[in-house]
Chain A
């Protein structure tokens, strides 16, 4: 965890209750997840009750309250990707990694999520591994890509 960076984000928005979501997002982008002590810090710095910080943190899917693996696998389950076989790709990834969407494996190597439509339906089924898009993926192709990691 890069404490200096988190400190910097918090200092920039000291006392700004309205910036809550923005601050949480910036810290999440930096740290990949939101540990409890950070949520407490946010509450104190922004002068927002911890209950409200937790309410926002648990309401939005983007925020994670558990640590993430080294590689983030996002599988688009928007309708266009579903129509083109996203479920088979998801089944394959679950089989290979042994984790379900929302989970991280015991070695903290992979985290798996299903995501809503990413707006590039011509690439469906779409899989993103650490932000890199893999378009028109067949289950076997994605298996190869994962084995290489």
Chain B
């Protein structure tokens, strides 16, 4: 493949790719996301390959292993195009029937399509299934349609057109201005305006080399939307990153991700190599004169390395210990140079903002939180998976309309956002909209968008203990408030769950939490008390019952019942 040297050549290539694709040619799109693979989807994929070979249909039917389709609960998922017939919980033994009946015979197999558990209504197409029906899948919706290993698939859906537009029709200042006006807020947890952050790095230390970083660490338990998006559509994030680098004036980027997701690593390496080959990455991108390179770095197993200053230390080859951030990393980051870090989903939003403009983008969402948000649903919920919805959607809609409610006839007790540094809110606040500021007001920062649903059998004291137990193993240990404060809080909570809670424990917890929140070194340390504070606010009676009555109201703590 010769490299592309201009917008005209890019469009020419795109036309050629689209012309070669026959829209009526059957395509079997099989979800190869982490959850579906865990359910044995690799066997489903090989069964399809064998069956197609057996029937000598290789030229007539395409097979595509794709990124996550989102409906993880019902995996393995197979979608047959062009009809978009969606089959759930597919097993290798279903494969011959799917090929003969649906791919060739154009018939729907009733037992494999979605059936509403209450009404018995069937739905054959993805767009009719309640889980998908009202989502706005602007970012993740393309995943079933593309092979993550194929840059041509991404080009066929308009990929890299935003990059061409930015490089040839816009100045870096105009790109920056567009992102600022769109009010794109960081998806990693802070909700900080991305445009302002970019501007800080752009203006910091004139003349010094600047860096841009994709934070794909995603270490929070229950967060899997970034991995789903990045694995399924790596070029989308890469395109956003290159556009950001152009606006900021950076020529070197870093992608920081976890070592334990081999499919992501493979797709990412392939995407970088292909983009380079096509002239979309590297020297003189698309003949514009702008050059940009990317390196991949891996975390090898500690949560704190997702914190920005720790992550940057790790890229330098040092242990990931955070530093105080009275000077932001956007000013002094990797090797003390200005370094702009954004999360996977933030970068993924950039191409569509450039393509469709800030007016379009800011028409989605609420007054202060724009666009859509990916949410990973987990815990006591009928449909675990990844949903993408506009900001402003209420938590009730997420839990009941998309999530399908609580399984086993149990009642909803609480919703927890943001993992071990987030917050828990009770069922009574379920009409709160999905919005950075509204959620913060009620004590549950949105975090990266991981939403854990808890039913009536959940003991909140135990939940608080679990989060601290997780964090106690993940703190870097550099500062005393985090290292020792956490240990003491964990000890008090463990005592409570074992029937050894004492009068005054709650007050002591609040005191330690206050000190840790004020005095810890980094944003991880200063957030570890947050789940506990929100639980004490809304579920204080449960903590009191553990201490005063030696009773676990949820009947969970073994030693108390």
Contact = CB atoms under 8 A, between A and B. Distances in A.
Interface in B425-480: 452, 454, 458, 463, 466-467, 470, 473, 476
B452 A116 contact: no
Given A60-B300, A135-B39, A121 B376 contact: yes
A116 B305 CA distance: 14
Interface string A43-77: 00000000000011001111100000000000001
A106 interface: no
A25 B317 CA distance: 13
A22 B378 contact: no
Interface in A2-37: 17-22, 24-25
A61 B378 contact: no
Contact of A79 (B301, B303, B319, B379): B379
Contacts of B34: 118-120
Nearest to A114: B473
Contact of A117 (B220, B319, B416, B476): B220
Given A21-B298, A25-B300, A121 B378 contact: yes
Contacts of A119: 34-35, 218, 223-224, 227-228, 261
B303 A83 contact: no
B155 to A, nearest CB: 28
Contacts of B338: none
Interface stretch (A92-100, A122-130, A138-146): A122-130
The number of chain A residues touching the other chain, given as a range, is: 35 or more
Contact of A122 (B35, B261, B317, B458): B35
A79 B38 contact: no
Contacts of A123: 35, 38-39, 72
B38 A133 contact: yes
Contact of B221 (A17, A60, A62, A79): A79
Contacts of A56: 319
A59 B301 CA distance: 9
B411 to A, nearest CB: 15
A119 B35 CA distance: 7
Contacts of A19: 317
Nearest to B385: A122
A79 B419 contact: yes
B302 interface: yes
Given A55-B319, A124-B378, A60 B220 contact: no
Given A22-B298, A62-B300, A79-B221, A120 B38 contact: yes
The number of chain B residues touching the other chain, given as a range, is: 35 or more
A61 B458 CA distance: 29
A79 B298 contact: no
Given A62-B301, A82-B466, A83-B380, A121 B317 contact: no
A40 interface: no
A80 B35 contact: no
Nearest to B220: A117
Nearest to A78: B221
Interface string B405-430: 00000000000100110000000000
A116 B379 CA distance: 15
Contacts of B37: 133
Nearest to A28: B300
A6 B378 CA distance: 40
A63 B300 contact: yes
B302 A59 contact: yes
A21 B300 contact: yes
Nearest to A19: B317
Nearest to A79: B221
A21 B314 contact: yes
Nearest to B419: A79
Contacts of B416: 79
Contacts of B420: 79
Contacts of B376: 121
Given A79-B221, A117-B219, A120-B34, 11 more contacts: A21-B314, A78-B222, A79-B379, A79-B470, A80-B222, A83-B380, A116-B301, A117-B224, A121-B72, A122-B378, A135-B38
16 contacts: A18-B316, A19-B317, A21-B317, A59-B319, A60-B300, A78-B222, A79-B467, A83-B454, A116-B470, A117-B219, A117-B221, A121-B384, A122-B72, A122-B73, A122-B75, A126-B38
